[in-house]
Structures are given as C-alpha cells and as structure tokens.
Amino acid sequence: MNRYFKAKIRENLPLNNSNNLLITEPLDPVTEPKPGQFYMITVGNSYDPLLKRPFSYLRTTPDTIQFLFTVRGRGTALMKALRKGSVVDIIGPLGTGYPLPGTRCTPVVVAGGTGIISLFSLIETLTRRFHVLYGAKNRDDLLLLHELERLGNKLVVCTDDCSFGKEGMVDAVLRELLADHESLSTSCTLYACGPKPMLKAVSGIAAERGLRGYMSLEENMACGFGACLGCAVKTIRGYQRVCREGPVFPIRDIVWEQDY
Amino acid sequence: MDLTVHIGRLPLKNPVMTASGTFGYGEEYAEFVDLNLLGAVVVKGISLNPKEGNPSPRICETPCGMMNAIGLQNVGLKKFLKEKLPYLRQFDTRVVVNILGNTIQEYVRLAKALDGAGVDAIELNVSCPNVKKGGILFGTDLRALARLVTRVKQSVSSTVLITKLSPNVSSIPGFAKAAEDAGSDALSLINTIPAMAINIETWKPKLANVTGGLSGPAIRPVAVRMVWEASRAVSIPVIGVGGIMHADDAIEFMLAGASAIQIGTGNFLNPGATAQAVSGIVTYLERKGISNIREIIGRVDGTAPHNNTDD
C-alpha cells in the first residue's frame, strides 16, 4: 500500500457558501485510515501556492475518501475550484488517530468550528453512549448537524451569537455538563478538536478536574510525514511533531505557551 | 549511461543528493523513495548536544516558496551515531552529515567523531539563518570561515569536507575561494535566504522567530547565479542547492557549473522527487545524445544570444 497516490475528483459539492464536500477516488490501492488521521492534498497545479494542505478525512467508502473543507484562504479557494474528473496528489493517511475509550469510560466529544470534521470519524465508530458538545461562531458555521442528530446521542450545540442552540462557548458547555453529571468526572474520556483558545480552555478544565482525554492539534506543515519539523508543538516531552507524534495528543501532554 | 560525478575524491553514482534539513535522517522517506537510487543522502544538521528548536509557528508559505525557522532541532551527535547512522548504512548511497556548532571547537569535535564513524562526507553548516550564534557568523566573515575550514580539515583524515555557503554575502566568489584555500574539498550553495513575512490582520510576523529562511522555486534563479559565480572562482566541485523541484532544474544547475545537486523543499511536495530527478536526468541525457553526465557540468553558453520561446 502506498501512502502517496493520485486520486480522481468524483464530486466537489458546495454545502453552503464556505464549505465543500470533496469526494476523491484513489487511483492506486490505499491504506485504510483511523479516526483522527489526516491527508496532505495538492490544491493547485502550479508552485503558488507551493505546499500541499492538511485535511482531516470525513469518511471513507470502499472506493472513495471524503473530505469536508472550509474555504479560508487561497489554497482552499483553489480546492473549491477543483473540477470533477481532475486528478490530485494525496499523501496519507498520516499521523496518529484517536485512541478509543476504555470499556468503562464515557466519551465526551468537544468540537469547535471545523474541529467537528476530525472528530466525526471518531463519533461514527463509538459504540456506547457518548456526549457531543459542538460550538461554532454562528448557525452558518455549524457542519454535519443532521448527521450528528441522526447518530442519536446526547448532542449540545452552542453558538457565539446565539443564532442556534445555546449561547456561548463550548468550554462553558463542558463545565455545565460536568457539573450536572458528577459521575463523568471519574469516568469520562475527553476528545477535543477546534481552535487553540478552545483547546487551551478545555485543557484547563481537564487539569482542574483531573480528566483524561485527547486533543487533535492543527499547525502549519510543509511535508506532513515528519521531515520538515515545521509543525512542532511544545509538550511535556519537548517539541513534538503534529504530523507524526500527533495530530492527536494526550490533553495533559500539551504545554500552552501563549495566550490565544 | 554514466551518471557518476565526483565530490572531491568521493564518487557519487549520480548527482542527486538530498538537502540537509529537508530529508530528516532518511527513514522518514524510506516508504516513498528507494534510498539506494540516490547519489547521497545529506542528513538533518547535527550538533554535539540535542537541540530543541524554535517555538511555533515555524513555517509559512510565500509565493512559490516557504519560509522556515525550525531552529536546527536535531537529535544530537550521540543519538545520531547510535540510532540514525546504522539505519542509513543499510543503503547503497553516500551518507553526508551536515554539522553545526557555536564554536570552532564544537565543529572540530563533531568532525572527528564522524570521521571516526566513517561517514562519506561532512557538510559544514555555516549558513543557517535561524540561530543566534555560530552558524551564519562563520558563513559571513571571510577570516572566520577560513579559520573554521582549516581547523576542521586538519581534524579529519578520510572524510570529504563540503562547506555549505550562505547566500547572505556581498561576494560569493570571495567566500567560495576562501573555503577552497582553507582546504574544503567541495562547496554547496545556497542555503535559505533570510526573509520575513507579516500577517497584515494581526500586524505580527508570521513566524515566531520573526525572521526565517526562504526556500523553494522562488530562490532558484538566485541560487543558479551564485553557483555560476562560485564555480568560476574555484576549481573544487560545487553542489547546487535552491528550489530544485525536478530534473530540468537539476540540469540547469549543472549547466551553471554544479557537479551535483541537492533537492530540499521539493521533497515536501513530492516525497519521491529525488528518485524522479534521477530518472528525469537519464531521459534528458538520452534525448540530447549524451552518454556521460560530466559533459554538461558548467557548459552554459554565457555569450550566445538566446530566445525564451521554450519557457
């Protein structure tokens, strides 16, 4: 199995103004990904932009790998313009995935913004009752709501501007959940992905309450497979590569150096 | 087809090398490229003690290029000799170790240890723009460079010595000549170009280190010019580095005067870039009816008028 392959674009469907579902069809045999792993995708056909971009996968089918991406800058704008039938270079699956929860642990999934994409592949594999706390800036930024509701577990959605669900940040919702369910403090496994301020806040809550769990980080990276050392983050074991030792790290391992 | 080139007395089976800092210790690429196909692997710069590197963000993208300020993160000499070198030794390729120190004594200790370990060549890193002391200080001061090269040369017996020059100087021929006169067996150039990028929304630099080294296709014309200038100033081999993405770029450097080339940033986009460059060079030579790659080294015709209709 090769982790560097070409894939044909089967569909590139706009979900709304800023989000697309990219369905790729690998032209070579590929390795099955684990929830939380990611891929580096070529976004254009020139050297500007130069680098591939990292994307969490959303789901796979026997012959496709699917990505949900948000248009944020030049690279993702080019990706939105990819036409059905065109061929892109992809490297992956890369990085570690989310370790599955222990048999006595209740998974509590905390997602911020596009962090839900990385966590969605984990959520689909969870077999016991779990909680999903999902926050975004506003209603338009919420992704995969129907799918999350269909999965039939405890879902709490919040938005910064109160345009959908509860008002406020997802870390505040996590505090409420833990206050309301005393048993979770001893039996939950947190899974988090989202913007750095949110992850830092979740780390703080986990540290206060002695909770265990994992978070997936995002950093600029040039290669995606451990060579460039561009994506290093500070951990209790020194700098570690988001692309190789991560993107999923134990929450307790991350050393937050800056204010966000 | 004879692809053999020589770096001093060291023969390489072909001119394609990896650029330090972009190829890890080789193992990161082993699933993407057969290391046996490469002329040489140049490993990530090694210091006496492990280095942690700089805070993040460490890289950012620029037009046709990228900037990095990794800060020479590496495993240190001891771990390199114990864990990384034996892995590379399994392959039929030359092993070149890039070394960096804060003082001449540190470079000498590294060179002696590696000479004893039997690596094929040492590449003196005197050109990293991302550390506060050592490194670039030697690369931008003629007398300091000459002292360093002389002392390191005296400390090695069998290992070929390559000096990797900085582009951050006013006269590359002068530095090339100084390294040659001090005993360097070969030169490699260029390293990344000191650069800066600013986020106009936050008004902050895009790199935590504020400045970084620019690499990628954006710097290639600068590197080609410097290789051309340096190779005309010295009689030792010059290795061309800077924005080489595929065989055509490699050929351009060799026509400018490079005896070998190193691929750096190109590996990030295409982890198989080095092996593809080797096969692309063969295809080029076949198309041109050339049976020995050494025939193209330095063969640029600097006087003939040309047109760019093939651009």
Q: Are strands A166-167 and A154-159 parallel, antiparallel or unpaired?
A: parallel
With beta carbons under 8 A apart, name residues in chain B contacting A257: 55
Question: Using CB atoms and an 8 Å cut-off, which of residues 84-123 of chain A contact chain B?
Answer: 89, 91
- Interface mutation vs chain A, best among B56, B60, B68, B246, most A CBs within 10 Å: B56
With beta carbons under 8 A apart, name residues in chain B contacting A49: 61
Q: Which of B55, B61, B267 sits opposite A50 (nearest CB)?
A: B61
**B134 token code pair:** 């050592």
Look at B269 and A221 and tell me if their CB atoms are within 8 Å: no
pLDDT band at A104 (very low <50, low <70, confident <90, very high): confident
Distance from CA of B206 to the nearest CA of A (A): 11
pLDDT tens digits, A66-98: 999 999 999 999 999 999 999 999 999 999 999
Q: What is the dihedral of CA A60, A66, A68, A74, to 10 degrees?
A: 140
The length of chain B, given as a count of residues: 311
A227 touches chain B (CB under 8 A): yes
pLDDT by position in tens, chain B (length 311): 999 999 999 999 999 999 999 999 999 999 999 999 999 999 999 999 999 999 999 999 999 999 999 998 999 999 999 999 999 999 999 999 999 998 899 999 999 999 989 899 999 998 755 555 556 678 888 999 999 999 999 999 989 999 999 999 999 999 999 999 999 999 999 999 999 999 999 999 999 999 999 999 999 999 999 999 999 999 999 999 999 999 999 999 999 999 999 999 999 999 999 999 999 999 999 999 999 999 999 999 877 666 666 65
Q: CA–CA distance from A94 to each of A64, A101, A200, A227 (Å)?
A: 17, 21, 24, 13
For residues A94 and A97, what is the distance between their CA atoms, to the nearest angstrom?
Answer: 9
Mean predicted lDDT score pLDDT of chain A: 93
Look at A234 and B55 and tell me if their CB atoms are within 8 Å: yes
The answer to whether residues B130 and B68 touch, using CB atoms and an 8 Å cutoff, is yes
Residue B310: per-residue pLDDT: 61
A47 touches chain B (CB under 8 A): yes
DSSP-derived 3-state class of residue B203: coil
Distance from CA of B245 to the nearest CA of A (A): 10
- Measured N-to-C along each axis, helices B247-256 and B273-288 cross at an angle, to the nearest 10 degrees, of 60
Q: Which of B44, B52, B272 sits opposite A238 (nearest CB)?
A: B52
DSSP-derived 3-state class of residue B132: coil
With beta carbons under 8 A apart, name residues in chain B contacting A220: 56-61
Q: Which residue of A has its CA nearest to B24?
A: A227
Residue B309: per-residue pLDDT: 61
Residue B127: per-residue pLDDT: 72
- Chain B residues whose C-beta sits inside 8 Å of any chain A C-beta: 22-24, 28-29, 31-32, 44, 52-53, 55-66, 68, 70, 73, 216-217, 245, 265, 267-272
Look at B31 and A47 and tell me if their CB atoms are within 8 Å: no
pLDDT tens digits, B285-306: 999 999 999 999 999 987 766 6
Distance from CA of B186 to the nearest CA of A (A): 26
With beta carbons under 8 A apart, name residues in chain A contacting B66: 50-51, 222
3-class SS string, chain A:
CCCEEEEEEEEEEECCCCEEEEEEEECCCCCCCCCCCEEEECCCCCCCCCCCEEEECCEEECCEEEEEEECCCHHHHHHHCCCCCCEEEEEEEECCCCCCCCCCCEEEEEEECCHHHHHHHHHCCCCCCCEEEEEECCHHHCCCHHHHHHCCCEEEEEECCCCCCEECCHHHHHHHHHHHCCCHHHHEEEEEECCHHHHHHHHHHHHHHCCEEEEECCCCCCCCCCCCCCCEEEEECEEEECCCCCCEEEHHHECCCCCC
Look at A229 and B58 and tell me if their CB atoms are within 8 Å: yes
A219 touches chain B (CB under 8 A): yes
For residues B94 and B36, what is the distance between their CA atoms, to the nearest angstrom?
Answer: 9
Distance from CA of B94 to the nearest CA of A (A): 19
Distance from CA of A30 to the nearest CA of B (A): 13
Distance from CA of B132 to the nearest CA of A (A): 19
**B303 token code pair:** 């006087």
Q: Which of A91, A226, A229 sits opposite B53 (nearest CB)?
A: A229
Segment A249-256 mean pLDDT = 96
For residues A122 and A200, what is the distance between their CA atoms, to the nearest angstrom?
Answer: 21
pLDDT above 60 for A38: yes
- Interface mutation vs chain B, best among A4, A42, A47, most B CBs within 10 Å: A47
- Catalytic residue IDs of B: 128
pLDDT tens digits, A157-187: 999 998 898 898 999 999 999 999 888 888 8
Look at B66 and A50 and tell me if their CB atoms are within 8 Å: yes
With beta carbons under 8 A apart, name residues in chain A contacting B29: 225, 227
Q: Which residue of B has its CA nearest to A244?
A: B28
